[in-house]
Amino acid sequence: MTNRSFPARRGLPALIPAILLAAACSQDEPLAVGFVGGLSGPNASVSLEGLNATRLAIDHANREGGIRGRRLELVVEDDGQDPTRALEAAQRLAAAGVVAVIGPFTSTITATVAPELQSRDILVISPTATALGLHGRDDNLVRINRTTRDNARDYAATLARRGLRRIAVAYDTRNDAFTLSWATEFEAALRERGGVLAANVPYASGPGADFRSVVDTLVAARPDGLLFVSGATDTARLAKEARIVSPRLPVAASEWAATEDLAEIGGEAIEGLLIVQAYDRDDRSPRYREFRDAYASRFRRPPGYSSVAAWDAVTVLVEGLRRAAPGETAKRAVLGHGPYPGLQQEIAFDANGDTTRRVFFTQVREGRYEPLRP
């Protein structure tokens, strides 16, 4: 179901420029910003946390005067974590006349949606997509996150330092643009450090997924550690099966699972789980604390990594448009007027709209993400 903060403007052409800041539109007319994410389905928490922060950031921008006096209005679409639904959502956003789209939140859906929106000259700013295939391309996609290669290499190095060199991996094929890229880069990095991929087991997330069979196959390879390249819900279910089959086997999960829901739904099964965070949860800077407190006050829960990335995505868009020259497109504005003040780090893009991001390894202890000690 489409969740719109304002109605689509009828009569707008299907093909529109990303933005023309010249006086083609009335200063009283709101500026539409699109949002697309997997708000339903088994691993929806990443997009839901991102939507919360997007709404918070849009409201913050409007209190500061919007874009040269024009208010921002959010148009929300659920891609259902399904490529067909995602394309339909992208087409509705284009018809609504959006200046840019925040999202999607998975690499597979981003790879589906970005070409469709590029054909309509609409900028896409993905807070969390990391697949290497999205990197280094001159298109209308701007990414706030690092790449699967960066993360997979850091995981391989961290596991090797902990003496884990024979790793069995399970990955969700429903987000294969991310998971296949991640697993491939991880295997290469593991081998560079003298390790080996003991097993590489694909599965398709959904009601029919047989998580016990996946874990049985992983454990049969006699690894010294398990790694799940899955969303939070699936990671929790895989971890629970792993605790039954092999209770002492160390477990890790890719950054995709690092939502606020993971500890709650995983319970004791994810105790000790190694996982990276794309932000510093213990940051005490005034800027981050103000955001964290506002988020918690409004949504009654702490922000997650996709919340921080979504806030940064909106910041990039808003600041880029505020600095834009008359007639400049959203893409040119965003790429040409940085760097931008992210919540925890400066955001600077190369000519292709790629950036870097610091990460922080954590381990789940008593339901909390605790910084990993050397």
Number of domains into which the chain is organized: 2
* 91 φ/ψ angles, rounded to the nearest 5 degrees: -65, -40
Q: Is 73 contained in some domain?
A: yes
Based on the fold, state whether residues 142 and 179 are members of the same structural domain.
Answer: no
Calpha distance 148→67 (Å, rounded): 34
> Are 49 and 127 a contacting pair, CB within 8 Å?
no
Structure tokens at 182: 């991640």
The closest of 3, 34, 15 to 99, measured between CA atoms, is 34
pLDDT at 38: 97
Q: What is the pLDDT of residue 26?
A: 56
pLDDT of residue 199: 98
* Domain termination site, one of 229, 254, 277: 277
Q: Which residues contact 71 (CB under 8 A, 6 or more apart)?
A: 30, 31, 62
What is the per-residue pLDDT for 27?
63
Does residue 196 sit in the same domain as residue 315? Answer: no
Copy the structure tokens of residue 264: 């709650």
Give residue 269's domain range. Answer: 148-277
Cβ(258)–Cβ(277) below 8 Å: yes
What is the residue whose two structure tokens read 């092999």? 246
- Is residue 156 one of the residues assigned to a domain? yes
Measured distance CA(345)–CA(351) in Å, rounded:
19
pLDDT at 12: 34
Instruction: Output the DSSP codes for 206-245.
Output: STT--HHHHHHHHHHT--SEEEEES-HHHHHHHHHHHHHH
Contact 4, 75 (CB under 8 A): yes
Instruction: Specify if 363 maps to a domain.
Output: no
Whole-prediction pTM: 0.89
Based on the domain organization, do 10 and 140 belong to the same domain?
Answer: yes
Same domain, yes or no: 23 and 140: yes
Instruction: Please name the residues in contact with 94: beta carbons below 8 A apart, sequence gap of 6 or more.
Output: 14, 15, 16, 116, 117, 120, 122
Residues 12 and 139 in one domain: yes
Residue 354 included in any domain: no
Which residue shows structure tokens 């054909």?
Answer: 119
Which is nearest to 86 in space by CA: 175, 181, 183? Answer: 175
Q: 259 lies in a domain?
A: yes
Distance CA 361, CA 286 (A): 23
Which amino acid is located at 338 in the chain?
A: G
pLDDT of residue 28: 75
Which of 85, 88, 81 has the alpha carbon at shortest distance from 106?
Answer: 81
215 and 309 housed in the same domain:
no
Q: Is 366 buried (19+), middle (13-18) or exposed (0-12) by CB count in 10 A?
A: exposed
Q: For each of the chain's 374 residues, which pLDDT tens digit applies?
A: 334 443 333 333 333 343 444 433 456 799 999 999 999 988 899 999 999 999 999 999 999 999 999 999 999 999 999 999 999 999 999 999 999 999 999 999 999 999 999 999 999 999 999 999 999 999 999 999 999 999 999 999 999 999 999 999 999 999 999 999 999 999 999 999 999 999 999 999 999 999 999 999 999 999 999 999 999 999 999 999 999 999 999 999 999 999 998 988 999 999 999 999 999 999 999 999 999 999 999 999 999 999 999 999 999 999 999 999 999 999 999 999 999 999 999 999 999 999 999 999 999 999 999 998 76
277, 308, 337 — which closes off a domain? 277
Q: Is 166 within the bounds of a domain?
A: yes
> Are 128 and 181 found together in one domain?
no
Same domain assignment for residues 49 and 67: yes
On the 0-12 / 13-18 / 19+ scale of CB atoms within 10 A, 221 is middle
- Check which CATH number belongs to the domain holding 136 and give it: 3.40.50.2300
Looking at the structure, do residues 253 and 330 belong to the same domain, yes or no?
Answer: no
Instruction: Please indicate, yes or no, if residue 118 is contained in any of the structural domains.
Output: yes
Q: Classify strands 3-4 and 72-78 as parallel, antiparallel or unpaired.
A: antiparallel
Give the pLDDT of residue 43. 86
Residues 15 and 139 placed together within one structural domain of the fold? yes
Instruction: Give a yes or no: residue 321 inside a domain.
Output: yes
Amino acid at 265: I
Residue 316's alpha-carbon distances to 139, 156, 259, in angstroms, are: 17, 31, 23
Do 8 and 137 reside in the same domain of the chain?
A: yes
Residues in the chain: 374
Residue 267's SS3 state is helix
Residues 18 and 121 in one domain: yes
Using CA atoms, how far apart are residues 4 and 77, in angstroms rounded to an integer? 7
At residue 66, what are phi and psi to the nearest 5 degrees?
A: 65, -140
Q: How many whole angstroms separate alpha carbon 330 and alpha carbon 20?
A: 8
Separation of alpha carbons 37 and 84, rounded Å: 13
